[in-house]
Amino acid sequence: MDQQSNDILLDAADVTKVFQIRQGLSTTSFHAVDNASFQIEAAKPEIFTIAGESGSGKTTLARMILGLDEQTFGGLEYKGRDISKLSKRDKRNWFFREVQPVFQDPFAAFNPLRRIDRYLYETVHNYGMARRGEADAYVDEVLQEVGLSLAEVKGRYPNELSGGQAQRMAVARALITQPSLIVADEPVSMLDASLRMSVVNMFKRLKEEQGVSIVYITHDLATAYYSADRIAVMLRGWIVEMGPVENVLGKPLHPYTRNLKESIPRADPDKVWTEKTGLTVMDTEEYTRSGCRYAGRCPFAMDVCRDTVPGDYQAAGRMVKCFLYDEATVGADKVAAHVAGNLTRTQSFGTIDVETTTL
């Protein structure tokens, strides 16, 4: 293992996941995740947010990071080791100790007929995190990190906890093994607005005080902007814009990211986006489009966008997958103008067809 591998905690290189779906008598291939690339450094703990609508590929990417699904193409390494090639023993004894999940529904993560503290004690025992006589103190210490105590949860069943307590228990369960990376998939979407920020603040504290990096999967740009260090915006399997969150959400460049931000009403602060499930015909067509997957909805689309896949271009401190920022396509002067926000619409355009509100 070389020094560069030791410096990189998580390395995704052109990660691609291909699924087959049936449409009548025919079968269509589509790339749920398509050439996703990013790195998280070992020495710089961060909250790296992957944001997008339902169907963008963010949860599929999360499952591959967790070793629950295997990529079709590309490389996905944790601390220099290919996740897809780890043996069952290595996954159980090493990887699942180092990388922990926090899922959307905290109650689905626990057996309703089992006392919830048993999960913590079992993990302590399985991974040798504390001696038998020290288990209570260790479990209580971990619970204190998420704002709970052993006295509050010992002997209780999942249904006896509030939603916020259950989600904190899920995070505590992840922390028991002292992981270096937590993958949190929509961890606050089922919580009331009053509880969301407490969980997000907890993630920030874990990064700052425990040195844990967090891959935060969300469709909520408000919590993403508040918590993330960097953000990757996904559209139909592509990462279309990626960089420091203050750049990407403070002044988005990709037309899709701009529209996401513009589509957040300010009137009702108690709701978040309503996710859609399943793929519509339009969804499938966008996945298999020969050019840019946003060209059919983009108000700035050019002829090249409909026929050619855009590259990953660097502009204003972030990566953006859009020909508007390719000097070879539009020229340096226009790229500079586009970065400044001087864009000319080429077609009429409406907002994204999802219910959107923010915190």
The 10s digit of each residue's pLDDT in 327-345 is: 999 999 999 999 998 877 6
pLDDT given at position 4: 54
Which of 159-163, 184-188, 355-359 is predicted least confidently? Answer: 355-359
CA-to-CA dists, residue 195 to 189, 202, 266, 326, angstroms: 10, 11, 19, 42
Average pLDDT, the chain: 87
* 170 close to 102: Cβ distance less than 8 angstroms: yes
What pLDDT score was predicted for residue 288? 64
Q: Rounded to whole angstroms, how far apart are CA atoms 81 and 117?
A: 33
- CA 67 to chain CA centroid, Å, is 15
231: pLDDT strictly greater than 60? yes
Q: In what order do the strands lie in the sheet with 238-244?
A: 99-102, 181-185, 213-218, 47-51, 230-235, 238-244, 318-320, 313-315
Q: Is 92 helix (H, G, I), strand (E, B) or coil?
A: helix
pLDDT confidence of 3, banded at 50, 70, 90? low
Full-model pTM: 0.87
- CA-based nearest residue to 215, from 263, 257, 267, 180: 180
Q: Kindly give, in sequence order, each residue whose CB lies less than 8 Å from that of residue 192, ignoring residues fewer than 6 positions away.
A: 163, 164
> How far is the C-alpha of 217 from the C-alpha of 60, rounded, in Å?
10
Rounded CA gap, 213 and 327, in Å?
A: 35
Output the CA torsion 203→208→213→218 (10° steps): 30
CATH of 3-107+178-248, one of 3.40.50.300, 1.10.760.10, 3.30.1490.100, 1.10.3720.10: 3.40.50.300
pLDDT in tens, 5-51: 579 999 999 999 999 887 778 888 889 999 999 999 999 999 999 99
Summarised one tens digit per residue, pLDDT across range 153-173 is 999 999 999 888 998 899 999
Element (H, E) at 241: strand 238-244
Mind listing the pLDDT tens digit for each residue in 39-98? 999 999 999 999 998 889 999 999 999 999 999 999 999 999 999 999 999 999 999 999
What is each CA distance from 64 to 15, 17, 95, 206, in whole angstroms? Answer: 9, 9, 13, 23
Domain ranges of the chain: 3-107+178-248, 255-339
Question: What is the average per-residue pLDDT within 296-302?
Answer: 91
pLDDT at 2: 53
Q: Tell me the percentage of the chain whose pLDDT exceeds 90.
A: 67
Output the pLDDT for position 284.
55
Residue 342's pLDDT is what?
Answer: 80
For the chain, how far is it from start to end, CA to CA, in angstroms?
A: 44
